[in-house]
Amino acid sequence: NAGVTQTPKFQVLKTGQSMTLQCAQDMNHEYMSWYRQDPGMGLRLIHYSVGAGITDQGEVPNGYNVSRSTTEDFPLRLLSAAPSQTSVYFCASRTGLAGAETQYFGPGTRLLVL
Amino acid sequence: AQKVTQAQTEISVVEKEDVTLDCVYETRDTTYYLFWYKQPPSGELVFLIRRNSFDEQNEISGRYSWNFQKSTSSFNFTITASQVVDSAVYFCALWNSGGYQKVTFGTGTKLQVIP
């Protein structure tokens, strides 16, 4: 199993550009989520999905869109990048819907918005 | 509302010293889980341990040990005989049954082990 994979590893954008961060998992996990990590802030939940076709907002959803057309993939879209979105983005997945299940994280995508 | 506090922002120890990373949590729920993750300089997040609120037994795994005390709402992590490879940022996290979608992370403690 590859686990949770993310692409790209690093990206530089100009303000106003759009892009999609890719996330895929091969563990047949129902639950997937996106976090952003900023210095001194820990990890904050952006969006999550409890299964194909079902998504919902986390605590910092503004500026991001998600969709879940398959169990395996959970892309995160930035429609119009802003410098405030400079961060490290982590995708995670877990087996069950209950938060007690251990989450497995991808390697992260480092995004710089100029 | 739930909250996780890791008051130690950065800690430096000399190799072979013992070090304890503090984690204090807040939740109104009686059923909850606590986690520790390690983030080495390479950036990935590595799961270390999960503990439920009904199990207050201390856990030991090699040089790592965890002390869970409900009376003080703490879930502290001790590394015995630290090594340079332990240098990383360590995150404590909390999930409670009130919100299956949300795991609350602390802000992390950066540990530097000096050779």
- Report the residue from B4, B97, B102 with minimal CB separation from A45: B102
Q: What is the reported pLDDT for A98?
A: 58
Closest chain B CA to residue A92:
B45
Report CB contact under 8 Å: B103, A107.
no
Predicted pLDDT of residue A66: 97
Residues 6+ apart with CB under 8 A from A109: A6, A7, A8, A9, A10, A11, A21, A88, A89, A90
Residue B36 amino acid letter: W
| CA–CA dist B74, B72 (Å, integer) | 5
- Phi and psi at residue A84, to the nearest 5°: -65, -15
- Contact list in B for residue A107 (CB cut-off 8 A) is 43-44
Divide the 114 residues of chain A into consecutive groups of 10 and give the mean pLDDT of each group. Answer: 90 97 94 91 90 91 96 96 96 75 88 97
Angstrom CA distances, B19 to A56, A113, B25, B40, B64, stand at: 39, 37, 20, 17, 10
Nearest to A40 among B4, B91, B107 (CB): B107
Task: Decide if pLDDT at B38 tops 80.
Answer: yes
Rounded mean pLDDT, B13-22: 97
Measure Cα distances from A99 to A33, A37, A58, B17 in Å.
11, 19, 14, 35
Q: Using pLDDT thresholds of 50, 70 and 90, give the confidence band for residue B29.
A: confident
Chain B interface test: which of A105, A109, A111 (most B C-beta within 10 Å): A105
Under 8 Å CB pairs connecting chains A and B tally to 60
Q: What is the pLDDT of residues B78-101, one digit of tens each?
A: 999 999 999 999 999 998 765 556
